[in-house]
């Protein structure tokens, strides 16, 4: 009896990350809000990060951690945030993983063929702006 075949995951490449970041940057420029944009691989490891001119330095870690969070739980950080309010099922989750968990909009899992292959994290604007820029980046994959 042979072992079951494992489905091969697409690995995000640096080229993929650059394309995702370029699309996100274009959206950020269109709305006039400089952003920090991070892309992580399926293991939650940083592939690439860009800090646009004028983006807050305090948002560097936030963007990277939004990407990590979206991959760690395979859920958008916006949805995780909605479910982590007092009385909700994930209340207190932001204190896990050494404080790396972000519970506000701007982090999205990146999927190919129905499988999560990484994530994007965006920070530097309002939650709505971060989300819109992350969505533009994710659409480039």
For 10-55, how does the pLDDT look when each residue is reduced to its tens digit (9 = 90+)?
Answer: 899 999 999 999 999 999 999 999 999 999 999 999 999 999 999 9
Q: Which residue's structure tokens are 């909605």?
A: 82
User: Do the beta carbons of residue 138 and residue 120 sit within 8 Å?
Assistant: yes
> What domains appear along the chain, each with residue ranges and CATH number?
14-139 (3.30.450.150)
Average pLDDT taken over every residue of the chain: 94
Nearest CA-CA partner of 136 in 51, 26, 50: 26
Q: How confident is the model at residue 6 (pLDDT cuts 50, 70, 90)?
A: low
Give, in order, the Cα–Cα distances in Å from 103 to each of 17, 25, 52, 82, 134: 23, 22, 23, 8, 15
* pLDDT of the residue at 10: 81
One DSSP character per residue, 23-44 reads: HHHHHHHHHT---EEEEEETTS
Q: What's the pTM value of the predicted model, to 2 decimals?
A: 0.92
């Amino acid at each position: 009896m042979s072992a079951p075949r494992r489905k091969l995951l697409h690995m995000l490449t640096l080229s993929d990350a650059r394309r995702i970041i370029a699309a996100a940057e274009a959206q950020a420029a269109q709305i006039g809000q400089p952003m920090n944009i991070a892309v992580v691989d399926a293991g939650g490891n940083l592939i690439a990060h860009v800090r646009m001119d004028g983006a807050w330095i305090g948002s560097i870690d936030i963007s990277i951690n939004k990407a990590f969070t979206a991959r760690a739980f395979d859920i958008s950080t916006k949805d995780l945030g909605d479910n982590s309010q007092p009385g909700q099922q994930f209340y207190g989750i932001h204190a896990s993983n050494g404080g790396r968990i972000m519970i506000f909009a701007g982090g999205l899992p990146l999927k190919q063929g129905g499988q999560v292959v990484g994530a994007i994290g965006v920070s530097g604007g309002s939650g709505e702006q971060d989300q819109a820029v992350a969505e533009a980046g994710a659409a480039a994959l």
